[in-house]
Amino acid sequence: MSIYFYETDIGKIGIAEKNGRITNLYFPNGNWPQDMEIYEAPILKEAAQQLQNYLVSNLTNFFLPLEPGGTVFMKQVWTSLCEIPYGKTVSYKSVAEKIGNPNAARAVGLANNRNPIPIFIPCHRVISANGSLVGYRGGLELKNRLLKMENRHEYADF
């Protein structure tokens, strides 16, 4: 596994890869693993470029090979999150219903919290059923900033 660090509009971000697939994104307030090789693999350079383009509103969809580590349920949730359109938000309950487990809103919240590749897997687009912003590893200020950047004006069921 390798990791490389990039200065972005939201601070210093660490992006990690294994075998040419993105595995993690670390926020400025996060802890990065100390045992990873610091090396800018080509896929990391591409991920950083796409992230920069997203942060200046020049990209609405990421085109990267992702490989988040987690349980089968978590991966199901994360796959579903990637289907939320840019600029839209959905509730935890809506995600639970989408994956065929309508009583799993809390488990969806936990999967969001454990998302190892935030932004690329857009867990920031998931909000509470009453429209409030809750929980985000990068902080609610960043979640709000990302949603405003995407010009979120519409609640979507997907």
In order of 49, 63, 84, the CA distances from 2 in angstroms are 17, 20, 29
DSSP for 46-108 reads HHHHHHHHHHTTS-SS----B-----HHHHHHHHHHTTSPTTEEEEHHHHHHHTT-TT-HHHH
Asked about 123 being catalytic, the answer comes back as yes
Catalytic residue among 15, 123, 126, 142: 123
CA distance 124 to 43: 23
Positions annotated as catalytic residues are 123
